[in-house]
Structure 1
Protein backbone atom coordinates (compact mmCIF):
# COMPACT_ATOMS: atom_id res chain seq x y z
CA UNK A 1 0.00 0.00 0.00
CA UNK A 2 1.11 3.50 -0.67
CA UNK A 3 1.03 6.02 2.13
CA UNK A 4 -0.41 9.45 1.45
CA UNK A 5 3.08 10.95 1.27
CA UNK A 6 4.17 8.41 -1.35
CA UNK A 7 6.45 6.58 1.07
CA UNK A 8 6.45 2.82 1.49
CA UNK A 9 4.36 1.80 4.50
CA UNK A 10 5.93 -0.01 7.44
CA UNK A 11 4.15 -3.25 6.51
CA UNK A 12 6.31 -3.37 3.39
CA UNK A 13 9.42 -1.87 4.90
CA UNK A 14 9.82 -4.34 7.79
CA UNK A 15 10.12 -7.45 5.56
CA UNK A 16 12.56 -5.56 3.36
CA UNK A 17 14.74 -4.67 6.34
CA UNK A 18 14.64 -8.28 7.57
CA UNK A 19 15.78 -9.50 4.14
CA UNK A 20 18.52 -6.88 4.06
CA UNK A 21 19.73 -8.11 7.44
CA UNK A 22 19.90 -11.65 6.06
CA UNK A 23 21.93 -10.37 3.12
CA UNK A 24 24.41 -8.64 5.41
CA UNK A 25 24.83 -11.73 7.57
CA UNK A 26 25.51 -13.86 4.48
CA UNK A 27 28.23 -11.49 3.27
CA UNK A 28 30.70 -12.79 5.87
CA UNK A 29 30.21 -16.54 6.15
CA UNK A 30 33.55 -17.04 7.87
CA UNK A 31 36.02 -19.73 6.96
CA UNK A 32 35.95 -23.07 8.71
CA UNK A 33 39.02 -25.27 8.45
CA UNK A 34 39.11 -28.85 7.20
CA UNK A 35 41.11 -31.49 9.04
CA UNK A 36 43.93 -31.24 6.52
CA UNK A 37 44.28 -27.50 7.20
CA UNK A 38 42.62 -26.48 3.93
CA UNK A 39 39.66 -24.15 3.81
CA UNK A 40 36.37 -26.06 3.82
CA UNK A 41 35.36 -23.99 0.78
CA UNK A 42 38.36 -25.33 -1.10
CA UNK A 43 37.24 -28.95 -0.57
CA UNK A 44 33.44 -28.56 -0.80
CA UNK A 45 31.24 -28.74 -3.85
CA UNK A 46 31.71 -29.79 -7.42
CA UNK A 47 33.41 -27.80 -10.12
CA UNK A 48 31.23 -25.94 -12.55
CA UNK A 49 31.36 -27.54 -15.99
CA UNK A 50 32.33 -25.50 -19.03
CA UNK A 51 28.63 -25.60 -19.97
CA UNK A 52 27.71 -24.14 -16.54
CA UNK A 53 30.26 -21.35 -16.97
CA UNK A 54 29.00 -20.62 -20.48
CA UNK A 55 25.40 -20.55 -19.19
CA UNK A 56 26.27 -18.05 -16.44
CA UNK A 57 28.24 -15.90 -18.89
CA UNK A 58 25.31 -15.91 -21.35
CA UNK A 59 22.80 -15.03 -18.64
CA UNK A 60 25.02 -12.12 -17.60
CA UNK A 61 25.22 -10.67 -21.12
CA UNK A 62 23.12 -7.52 -20.78
CA UNK A 63 23.05 -6.95 -24.53
CA UNK A 64 20.44 -9.70 -24.70
CA UNK A 65 18.07 -8.30 -22.03
CA UNK A 66 14.57 -8.14 -23.48
CA UNK A 67 12.02 -5.36 -23.41
CA UNK A 68 11.89 -2.08 -21.52
CA UNK A 69 10.51 -1.02 -18.17
CA UNK A 70 8.92 -3.82 -16.13
CA UNK A 71 9.45 -6.56 -18.77
CA UNK A 72 13.19 -5.73 -18.85
CA UNK A 73 13.30 -5.79 -15.05
CA UNK A 74 11.49 -9.17 -15.01
CA UNK A 75 14.07 -10.55 -17.47
CA UNK A 76 17.00 -9.22 -15.40
CA UNK A 77 15.50 -10.61 -12.18
CA UNK A 78 14.97 -14.05 -13.73
CA UNK A 79 18.57 -14.09 -14.97
CA UNK A 80 19.81 -13.09 -11.53
CA UNK A 81 17.82 -15.96 -10.01
CA UNK A 82 19.21 -18.46 -12.55
CA UNK A 83 22.79 -17.22 -12.05
CA UNK A 84 22.39 -17.69 -8.29
CA UNK A 85 20.81 -21.13 -8.58
CA UNK A 86 23.42 -22.76 -10.82
CA UNK A 87 26.48 -22.46 -8.53
CA UNK A 88 24.33 -23.31 -5.50
CA UNK A 89 23.10 -26.49 -7.20
CA UNK A 90 26.77 -27.52 -7.46
CA UNK A 91 27.56 -26.52 -3.85
CA UNK A 92 29.78 -23.78 -5.26
CA UNK A 93 30.10 -20.97 -2.72
CA UNK A 94 30.12 -18.34 -5.49
CA UNK A 95 26.33 -18.59 -5.43
CA UNK A 96 26.08 -17.53 -1.78
CA UNK A 97 26.23 -13.77 -2.31
CA UNK A 98 23.23 -13.92 -4.61
CA UNK A 99 20.97 -15.64 -2.07
CA UNK A 100 20.22 -12.43 -0.15
CA UNK A 101 19.59 -10.16 -3.14
CA UNK A 102 17.45 -12.84 -4.84
CA UNK A 103 15.31 -13.14 -1.69
CA UNK A 104 14.93 -9.37 -1.37
CA UNK A 105 14.11 -9.12 -5.06
CA UNK A 106 11.49 -11.90 -4.94
CA UNK A 107 9.82 -10.94 -1.67
CA UNK A 108 10.05 -7.15 -1.59
CA UNK A 109 11.28 -5.46 -4.75
CA UNK A 110 9.37 -7.29 -7.47
CA UNK A 111 5.98 -7.23 -5.70
CA UNK A 112 6.34 -3.45 -5.33
CA UNK A 113 7.50 -3.10 -8.93
CA UNK A 114 4.48 -5.05 -10.17
CA UNK A 115 2.04 -2.89 -8.17
CA UNK A 116 1.50 0.30 -10.20
CA UNK A 117 0.08 2.08 -7.14
CA UNK A 118 3.11 1.44 -4.92
CA UNK A 119 5.23 4.28 -6.33
CA UNK A 120 4.37 7.58 -7.94
CA UNK A 121 6.61 6.99 -10.98
CA UNK A 122 6.73 3.28 -11.90
CA UNK A 123 9.00 3.75 -14.94
CA UNK A 124 11.60 5.52 -12.81
CA UNK A 125 11.35 2.75 -10.18
CA UNK A 126 11.78 0.07 -12.87
CA UNK A 127 14.78 1.94 -14.27
CA UNK A 128 16.53 2.13 -10.87
CA UNK A 129 16.04 -1.60 -10.27
CA UNK A 130 17.16 -2.49 -13.80
CA UNK A 131 20.35 -0.46 -13.31
CA UNK A 132 21.20 -2.33 -10.09
CA UNK A 133 20.55 -5.68 -11.81
CA UNK A 134 22.59 -4.52 -14.83
CA UNK A 135 25.60 -3.85 -12.60
CA UNK A 136 25.29 -7.29 -11.04
CA UNK A 137 24.90 -9.01 -14.43
CA UNK A 138 27.81 -7.13 -16.04
CA UNK A 139 30.16 -8.05 -13.21
CA UNK A 140 28.97 -11.66 -12.94
CA UNK A 141 29.42 -11.98 -16.71
CA UNK A 142 32.93 -10.51 -16.43
CA UNK A 143 33.86 -12.98 -13.70
CA UNK A 144 32.86 -15.98 -15.80
CA UNK A 145 34.51 -14.82 -19.04
CA UNK A 146 37.72 -13.83 -17.22
CA UNK A 147 37.31 -10.09 -17.71
CA UNK A 148 38.17 -7.71 -14.88
CA UNK A 149 35.39 -7.34 -12.32
CA UNK A 150 34.73 -3.87 -10.94
CA UNK A 151 36.66 -3.71 -7.64
CA UNK A 152 33.46 -2.64 -5.85
CA UNK A 153 31.87 -5.99 -6.77
CA UNK A 154 34.94 -8.21 -6.69
CA UNK A 155 34.77 -8.93 -2.96
CA UNK A 156 31.24 -10.31 -3.31
CA UNK A 157 32.34 -12.89 -5.86
CA UNK A 158 35.39 -14.25 -3.99
Structure 2
Protein backbone atom coordinates (compact mmCIF):
# COMPACT_ATOMS: atom_id res chain seq x y z
CA UNK A 1 0.00 0.00 0.00
CA UNK A 2 1.23 3.49 -0.76
CA UNK A 3 0.30 6.35 1.51
CA UNK A 4 1.22 9.61 -0.09
CA UNK A 5 1.07 13.17 1.08
CA UNK A 6 2.87 16.20 -0.34
CA UNK A 7 4.98 18.38 1.92
CA UNK A 8 5.73 21.96 0.87
CA UNK A 9 8.26 24.09 2.71
CA UNK A 10 9.38 27.71 2.48
CA UNK A 11 13.09 26.87 2.89
CA UNK A 12 15.37 23.96 2.08
CA UNK A 13 14.74 20.95 4.34
CA UNK A 14 17.76 20.09 6.50
CA UNK A 15 16.27 17.23 8.53
CA UNK A 16 13.11 15.15 8.76
CA UNK A 17 11.62 13.38 11.76
CA UNK A 18 9.02 10.79 10.88
CA UNK A 19 6.49 9.29 13.28
CA UNK A 20 4.22 6.52 12.04
CA UNK A 21 1.14 5.61 14.07
CA UNK A 22 -1.62 3.09 13.56
CA UNK A 23 -5.01 3.69 15.14
CA UNK A 24 -8.17 1.62 15.40
CA UNK A 25 -6.31 -1.65 14.89
CA UNK A 26 -8.11 -4.69 16.33
CA UNK A 27 -6.24 -6.59 19.06
CA UNK A 28 -6.12 -9.70 16.87
CA UNK A 29 -4.36 -7.83 14.04
CA UNK A 30 -0.73 -6.85 13.61
CA UNK A 31 0.75 -3.88 11.77
CA UNK A 32 4.17 -4.45 10.24
CA UNK A 33 5.97 -1.52 8.67
CA UNK A 34 8.53 -3.04 6.35
CA UNK A 35 9.68 -0.16 4.20
CA UNK A 36 9.41 3.63 4.21
CA UNK A 37 10.46 5.72 1.24
CA UNK A 38 10.77 9.50 1.30
CA UNK A 39 11.18 10.91 -2.17
CA UNK A 40 12.05 14.43 -3.27
CA UNK A 41 10.16 16.12 -6.07
CA UNK A 42 6.55 16.41 -7.02
CA UNK A 43 6.35 13.12 -8.91
CA UNK A 44 5.67 9.83 -7.13
CA UNK A 45 7.68 7.44 -9.28
CA UNK A 46 7.63 4.35 -7.11
CA UNK A 47 10.45 2.16 -5.99
CA UNK A 48 13.71 2.07 -7.93
CA UNK A 49 15.44 -1.15 -6.86
CA UNK A 50 19.00 -1.25 -5.57
CA UNK A 51 21.12 -2.95 -8.28
CA UNK A 52 22.87 -5.15 -5.70
CA UNK A 53 19.56 -6.44 -4.34
CA UNK A 54 17.94 -7.39 -7.63
CA UNK A 55 20.98 -9.03 -9.21
CA UNK A 56 21.61 -6.67 -12.10
CA UNK A 57 24.94 -6.40 -13.87
CA UNK A 58 26.57 -3.26 -15.15
CA UNK A 59 26.68 -2.86 -18.91
CA UNK A 60 28.26 -0.40 -21.28
CA UNK A 61 28.57 3.32 -20.63
CA UNK A 62 26.10 5.65 -22.33
CA UNK A 63 26.56 9.38 -22.93
CA UNK A 64 24.20 12.08 -24.23
CA UNK A 65 24.82 15.81 -24.50
CA UNK A 66 23.33 18.89 -26.07
CA UNK A 67 22.33 22.53 -25.76
CA UNK A 68 19.20 23.18 -23.73
CA UNK A 69 16.81 26.14 -23.90
CA UNK A 70 14.01 27.10 -21.52
CA UNK A 71 10.86 24.93 -21.63
CA UNK A 72 12.54 22.35 -23.83
CA UNK A 73 11.48 18.71 -23.50
CA UNK A 74 14.54 16.46 -23.27
CA UNK A 75 14.55 12.81 -24.29
CA UNK A 76 17.57 10.54 -23.65
CA UNK A 77 17.04 7.38 -25.66
CA UNK A 78 17.63 4.10 -23.86
CA UNK A 79 16.37 0.54 -24.09
CA UNK A 80 18.11 -0.95 -21.06
CA UNK A 81 16.79 -4.09 -19.39
CA UNK A 82 16.90 -2.58 -15.89
CA UNK A 83 16.76 0.82 -14.17
CA UNK A 84 19.97 2.87 -14.24
CA UNK A 85 20.94 5.95 -12.19
CA UNK A 86 22.10 8.97 -14.21
CA UNK A 87 24.92 11.48 -13.75
CA UNK A 88 23.82 14.91 -14.97
CA UNK A 89 26.19 17.84 -15.55
CA UNK A 90 25.09 21.37 -16.41
CA UNK A 91 27.65 23.74 -17.96
CA UNK A 92 27.50 27.48 -18.76
CA UNK A 93 24.25 27.97 -16.83
CA UNK A 94 23.19 31.41 -15.68
CA UNK A 95 20.20 31.98 -13.41
CA UNK A 96 17.49 29.71 -12.05
CA UNK A 97 17.89 26.19 -13.48
CA UNK A 98 15.71 23.08 -13.23
CA UNK A 99 16.11 19.89 -15.26
CA UNK A 100 13.28 17.39 -14.75
CA UNK A 101 12.33 17.48 -11.08
CA UNK A 102 15.87 18.40 -9.96
CA UNK A 103 16.25 22.05 -8.99
CA UNK A 104 19.78 23.38 -9.27
CA UNK A 105 18.71 26.82 -8.02
CA UNK A 106 20.58 29.96 -9.11
CA UNK A 107 23.66 28.97 -11.11
CA UNK A 108 26.53 30.89 -12.62
CA UNK A 109 28.65 28.20 -14.28
CA UNK A 110 28.57 24.45 -13.73
CA UNK A 111 26.83 21.94 -11.47
CA UNK A 112 26.72 18.14 -11.28
CA UNK A 113 24.46 15.56 -9.67
CA UNK A 114 25.14 11.83 -9.57
CA UNK A 115 22.27 9.50 -8.71
CA UNK A 116 24.58 6.49 -8.35
CA UNK A 117 26.91 8.21 -5.88
CA UNK A 118 24.08 10.16 -4.17
CA UNK A 119 26.01 13.40 -4.57
CA UNK A 120 25.33 16.90 -5.86
CA UNK A 121 27.31 20.12 -6.09
CA UNK A 122 24.19 22.34 -6.10
CA UNK A 123 20.47 22.17 -5.54
CA UNK A 124 17.91 19.68 -4.34
CA UNK A 125 15.36 17.24 -5.71
CA UNK A 126 15.21 13.83 -7.33
CA UNK A 127 18.11 12.96 -9.61
CA UNK A 128 17.07 11.28 -12.85
CA UNK A 129 16.87 7.50 -13.19
CA UNK A 130 16.27 5.76 -16.47
CA UNK A 131 13.60 3.19 -15.78
CA UNK A 132 13.45 -0.31 -17.20
CA UNK A 133 12.81 -0.43 -20.98
CA UNK A 134 12.07 3.28 -21.10
CA UNK A 135 13.60 6.54 -22.33
CA UNK A 136 14.40 9.36 -19.94
CA UNK A 137 11.97 12.27 -20.46
CA UNK A 138 12.51 15.59 -18.68
CA UNK A 139 11.45 19.18 -19.14
CA UNK A 140 14.07 21.92 -18.79
CA UNK A 141 13.49 25.27 -17.13
CA UNK A 142 16.45 27.61 -17.55
CA UNK A 143 16.98 31.37 -17.55
CA UNK A 144 19.25 31.08 -20.60
CA UNK A 145 20.86 28.46 -22.77
CA UNK A 146 23.07 25.84 -21.15
CA UNK A 147 24.97 22.69 -22.06
CA UNK A 148 23.74 19.41 -20.56
CA UNK A 149 25.69 16.16 -20.28
CA UNK A 150 24.07 12.87 -19.22
CA UNK A 151 26.00 9.69 -18.43
CA UNK A 152 24.95 6.25 -17.15
CA UNK A 153 25.88 2.60 -17.30
CA UNK A 154 23.14 0.43 -18.73
CA UNK A 155 22.10 -2.43 -16.47
CA UNK A 156 20.82 -5.89 -17.25
CA UNK A 157 19.78 -9.02 -15.40
CA UNK A 158 22.16 -11.90 -14.74
TM-score by length of 1: 0.28
TM-score by length of 2: 0.28
Larger gyration radius, structure 1 or structure 2:
2
The answer to which structure has the higher strand fraction is 2
